Amino acid sequence: MQNEQENYNITPSNSESKLFGLTYRPTPSDRELEWDRTKVLLSKTDSKGNILYANESFIDVCGYDDFELMDKSHNIIRHPDMPKVIFKIMWEKIQTGEGFHVVMKNMSKTGRYYWVVNDLKTAKDNFGVLTFTGQQKSVHPDLISKIIEPLYRKLLQIQVASGVQSSENYLIGFLEERNMTYTQFIDQLIFTGVDTIQEKDDTIKVSIPKKKGFFSGFFADEKPTAKKK
């Protein structure tokens, strides 16, 4: 079994500290990337998370050229604000062949961040080798600011103070209180905009436009904007 850092896609290897020895990993910016939120960002990786393919929308939004992405770890776009436990759960699920929905804060080549929900699917070739395909779409900003970002911030704080296992223990309790898995929790937020647990007698609710289609609720309710770097 691969070690935890590699398997959970949570820490770049030494070879990823630079891109071709020329460009260092970008410094995170507190500015959000503006992009066409109607686009589907598609990527495919091998069983180790190395990128095999990325569509034009993925390339356009992350800001890397295609030659910079191919055969590089998908965590080239990983944002340091992401708690490691989310990747831990993700890898455990998709390596068993299960689909997985995960909300992620990504980092572009310029250091700006962008939030997506990633629908991950697993496939096997004729030799039984796994590949993973992810379709990323935008998330309603209120879901991020009111529910996802506060949760991820708390998980990261626990991780820094007490380690990944303690962060995972908190997430397990958080989900058990709702009687849900992580994917069920994300699906509920996407489709209803509601976190069923009441805080001070008020249910946290986000107004999500009603649209048809499985991915429709993922879209932010706004007109497309030009990307800025």
Query: pLDDT by residue (tens digit) across 32-54?
Result: 999 999 999 999 999 899 999 99
End-to-end CA distance of the chain: 39
The letter for the amino acid at 19 is L
The reported pLDDT for the residue numbered 65 is 95
Phi, psi torsion values for 60, nearest 5 degrees: -65, -40
CA distances (Å), origin 30, targets 35, 79, 108: 16, 11, 12
Q: How many residues does the chain have?
A: 229
Predicted model pTM: 0.80
Query: pLDDT by residue (tens digit) across 129-177?
Result: 889 999 999 999 999 999 999 999 999 999 999 999 999 999 999 999 9
The 10 Å Cβ neighbour count of residue 152 is 21
What is the CATH architecture assignment of 4-12+32-137? Answer: 2-Layer Sandwich (3.30)
Give the CA-trace dihedral at 110, 116, 121, 123, to 10 degrees. Answer: -10
d(CA 183, CA 67): 33
The two three-digit tokens of residue 77, written as one number: 């776009």
Least Cα distance to 116 among 13, 213, 220 occurs for 220
CATH 3.30.450.20 residue spans of the chain? 4-12+32-137
